[in-house]
Amino acid sequence: MMTRLKALWRKETLALLRDRHGLAALFVMPVIFILVMTMALHDAFMPGAAIDVGYAIVDLDNSPHSQSLIRRLNKAGSFRHIASVDNPDTARQAIRDGRYALVLVLPKGFGERLLAPAGADGQPTEPLGLLVDPTLNPVLQLAFRTQTSAALGTLRADELTRQAGKLFGLPSAANAPDRDWPDEIVTVAVQNEHSIRPPSSVQQNVPAWLVFAMFFVVIPISAILIVERQQGTLSRLAAMGLPFRLVLLGKLLPFFIVNQIQAALMVGVGLYVVPLFGGEALVMPQGIGLLNWWLVSMAVSLAAVACALLVASLARTTQQATIIGGVGNILMGAIGGIMVPKFMMPAAMQTLAEFSPMAWGLQGFHTVMLRHGGFAAILPPVLQLLAFAVAALAAATWLNHRQSA
């Protein structure tokens, strides 16, 4: 039996090495995905990170209070203060030209009427103006408004305190510095250990696209199996007394190894290539954690190869297999939290995600990498993946027997 298995493994390896499209789908595509998505989502997974949107200020008041507000906004740091402009018309033109996305206009008399609500003393209070580029994400517009309101609130509180002190005859220093309020919020990611470092985009993207890439073995596996069936090679092998389960076993090991090479490559990209592009390096678990990570990787691989064999047994032509396999993978990835993280989905979609084997794989990797979970914690997704693999292999074997009957 080993002679036959070795021949099958060698044949699969040679066939795969000569399938350039299959190799590109397995190795090049996920590397590109990891690099692009890690860079694109670099800040999305980093709370408090600077947003790459700048604002300009038109200070028509030019008072100590307006200067204080500008300083407080600069200190917040989420948005970049890129310029100060003399008048609103110049600012409008600059927005039209695409140079600024946000311009805050501090009206004349801003400082004077800082503590006078509109109409309270019979005089109108001119509001602060926010000029925005209409293409700017509304969430960012809202974030800037909120940040400005917060800075305004602290400025008013300081001014109120100062004036109250004056009213009660308390001494106060002239030109007192802006006070720092303890209003900064520190994000803490809850893990089993005591690390407080939140996961970076590379921690999210490497396992996600690795799972996705592993399931793409469907392309080379179905390409070979369908050629074997169409050209009568499977019949010839059966006539040679080679059982179909041995043919499946002959495909399982080479593609299992391919999946493990993919895993090593993706981890390598996360560790060494992503930092070259300015991203954070991937942090891999150590010791027993690394073993658990590999267990998840093995379970994902078995599920992926079994799924590919099922697709190849269902499809009649290579085109059908590419469509069923390719589109099926994209759908599994979409509902399984590969493209859009599961926590960002509405509740109904999160329930749907529970049915995607890719989601089980991703859950296993996240349990090890982000929550630092142990063997007991990864067991549920690993068992789900293994059960799926067994069911898919049984279905593939049954389909092939049925077709040959």
Which residues bind to other proteins, rule: CB under 8 A?
A: 1, 3-4, 6-8, 10-11, 14-15, 18-19, 227-228, 230-233, 235-242, 404-405
Which residues have C-beta within 8 Å of that of residue 179, sequence separation ≥ 6?
A: 154, 158
Nearer to other proteins, 224 or 392 (CB): 224
User: In the complex with other proteins, which residue's Cβ is closer, 90 or 231?
Assistant: 231
Least separation, in Å, of the C-beta of 1 and other proteins? 8
- The packing angle between helices 29-40 and 201-215, to 10°, is 150
CB of 246 to other proteins, least distance (A): 9
Q: At which residue do the structure tokens 């990570």 appear?
A: 293
Distances (CA, A) of 303 to 210, 218, 375: 13, 11, 19
Residue with Cβ nearer other proteins (1 or 174): 1
Among residues 25 and 382, whose Cβ is nearest to other proteins? Answer: 25
| C-alpha closest to that of 45 among 266, 197, 211, 191 | 197
Comparison of 4 and 99: residue with beta carbon closer to other proteins: 4
Q: What are phi and psi of 331, to 5 degrees?
A: -65, -45
- Taking the complex as a whole, the smallest distance from the CB of residue 226 to other proteins amounts, in Å, to 12
Closer by beta carbon to other proteins, 15 or else 257: 15
Report in angstroms how near the CB of residue 28 gets to other proteins at its nearest: 20
Provide the minimum distance between the beta carbon of 250 and other proteins in the complex, in angstroms, as a whole number.
Answer: 9
Smallest distance from other proteins to CB 228, Å: 8
Give the whole-angstrom CA distance, residue 3 versus residue 241.
Answer: 14
Task: Compare residues 161 and 233 and give the one whose CB is closer to other proteins.
Answer: 233
What DSSP string runs through 315-347?
A: -SSHHHHHHHHHHHHHHHHHHTTSSS-GGGS-H
The least CB distance from residue 194 to other proteins, in Å, is 54
Minimum distance from residue 316 beta carbon to other proteins (Å): 15
Nearest CA to 196 out of 71, 47, 59, 81 is that of 47
Neighbouring CB atoms inside 10 A of 124's CB total: 11
Task: Dihedral sign for Cα 69, 177, 65, 63, please.
Answer: negative
Q: How far apart are the first and last CA of the chain?
A: 25
140 in Cβ contact with 98 (< 8 Å): no
User: Of 207 and 220, which CB lies nearer to other proteins in the complex structure?
Assistant: 220
Sign of torsion over alpha carbons 286, 287, 289, 295: positive
